[in-house]
Structure 1
């Protein structure tokens, strides 16, 4: 496979991932996007109603959808970094074997 076709395939994959991340936010207008934090808060208040958190958030996203998008973006970025490092070390080890 030539270099330009590989680059095109990579960009198409990036666009597909972005479409998969943004489409639910656009299509699901009144959906509740909640995470484990919200569920834990509900259970804690149910068990002990007078509980007050001792730490406040530095940044509060405007909605649950934005929070979900930020979380998914962090996960994708982390996976990309881990994949890059693994590929980098694998490529270096293969190059070292070729040089021997």
Structure 2
């Protein structure tokens, strides 16, 4: 295993730890997402409404929503940056070979 591979694995492990630890540590806080607000609005319109689906995991706390959004944004930015870098380097190295 090369030095760069080890560094990437360590960085990914740290990212996972940073994302998971707050989910486990922050208990007793309220999680309010868009789905809950929508359900409240629908219940005001139709009091007999019953949700036909339930969340698989109930994350603890309002901070969890922000954390999950930030993790999603970071992963999206990483994938986008990797793809852009790959395309630029591919073009650069293809010109050198010709």
TM-score bin (small chain): 0.5 to 0.7
Runs of 4+ that moved beyond 6 A:
none
Q: Say how many residue pairs are matched.
A: 91
1:27 is matched with which residue?
25
Which of these residues, 8, 16, 19, is aligned with residue 18 of structure 1? Answer: 16
Question: For residue 92 of structure 1, what is the aligned residue in structure 2?
Answer: 90
**Unaligned ranges ≥5, structure 1:** none
Unaligned runs of 5+ in 2: none
Q: Is the 8 A contact 2:43 2:49 kept in 1?
A: no
CA RMSD of aligned residues (A): 3.5
Q: Aligned-pair distance for 1:78? A: 5.8
Partner of 2:2: 4
**Matches of 2:90 and 2:48, distance apart in 1:** 53
Counterpart in the other structure of 1:40: 38
Q: 1:95 to 1:24 in 2, by over 3 A?
A: same
Q: CA deviation at 1:96?
A: 2.1
